[in-house]
Chains A and B, each alone.
Chain A
Amino acid sequence: TQLLEQSPQFLSIQEGENLTVYCNSSSVFSSLQWYRQEPGEGPVLLVTVVTGGEVKKLKRLTFQFGDARKDSSLHITAAQPGDTGLYLCAGGYGDMRFGAGTRLTVKP
């Protein structure tokens, strides 16, 4: 079973701060996805990273896939209250596995 470990589990910051969350595994993934979930809703796909070393940017969010395709990170610049939510990384094919998530709170 391919396990994904996310850190930190909880993160509470002030608006305007930068942050990084991590997703690590001992297994190699052909791709990893990042999702954001808000209370009472389903996760929403943010990005898919495929190539080792790949960096993708989505406005203030920067996603990186490790060279060995075992880990990924999400960096948010100048966080805003609208970034508040549960950030999940996921990988696998057919039986998708999810990390436990990082619960981010951005205070105004």
Chain B
Amino acid sequence: KAGVTQTPRYLIKTRGQQVTLSCSPISGHRSVSWYQQTPGQGLQFLFEYFSETQRNKGNFPGRFSGRQFSNSRSEMNVSTLELGDSALYLCASSLISFGGLNEQFFGPGTRLTVL
């Protein structure tokens, strides 16, 4: 089975621009979560999508948004980029188990640099 794929792997933008990141989950996984990872804050939860609906949202400003398509692929958008948005953005997919397990499988990430 192919793993989680993320595109692009690297991205350089300037302040004020917007960016869209893409994630393709493992086949059969319907839940996709996004995380921001920085040296200072670690791995922080952005949002989770399940069946095209945002089910959970972390504590990030409205500039961060996402969506999920009917094939479970997901995109994340950041508008009006700030220097502090420079980070590794990770996507993870999971096969939701209603028994309490939420094992996440991560993609390689998109390294975003804002200049």
Interface of A toward B, CB cutoff 8 Å = 30-31, 33, 35, 40-45, 48, 50, 88, 90, 92-101
Contact status of A96 and B100, CB under 8 A, knowing A42-B108, A42-B109 = no
Minimum CB–CB distance from A13 to chain B (whole Å) comes to 22
Q: How far is the CA of A32 from the CA of B57 in the complex (A)?
A: 20
With A42-B4, A97-B45 given, is the CB distance from A92 to B102 under 8 Å?
A: yes
Known A-B contacts A31-B100, A50-B101; A94 and B55 likewise in contact (beta carbons under 8 Å):
yes
- A30 nearest in chain B by CB position: B100
* B interface, over-half SS: strand
Tell whether, in the assembled complex, residue A100 and residue B109 are in contact, meaning their CB atoms are under 8 Å apart: no
How many residue pairs link A and B with beta carbons under 8 A? The number is 62
**A100/B42 in contact, CB under 8 A:** yes
Instruction: List CB contacts (< 8 Å) of B89-110 with chain A.
Output: 90, 92, 100-109
Contact B58 A44 (CB under 8 A): no
A79 CB to closest chain B CB, in angstroms?
Answer: 23
Query: B71 at interface (Cβ–Cβ under 8 A)?
Result: no
Report Cα–Cα, A95/B45, bound state, in Å: 7
- Inside 8 A of A90's CB, which chain B residues have their CB? 104
| Given contact pairs A42-B109, A98-B42, a sample of 20 additional A-B residue pairs in the complex whose CB atoms are under 8 Å apart | A30-B100, A31-B100, A33-B102, A33-B104, A35-B106, A40-B88, A42-B4, A42-B90, A42-B92, A44-B106, A48-B101, A48-B103, A50-B100, A50-B101, A90-B104, A93-B102, A95-B58, A98-B35, A99-B42, A101-B42
A31 touches B101 (CB 8 A): yes
The yes or no answer to B111 lying at the interface (CB within 8 A) is: yes
Residues of B within 8 A of A (CB): 4, 33, 35, 42-45, 48, 55-58, 88, 90, 92, 100-109, 111
Residues of B within 8 A of A40 (CB): 88, 108-109, 111
Contact in complex: B33, A96 (CB < 8 Å): yes
- The answer to whether A96 and B106 have CB atoms under 8 Å apart is no
A12 to B47, CA, bound (A): 34
If A40-B111, A41-B109, A42-B92 touch, does A96 touch B42 (CB 8 Å cutoff)?
no
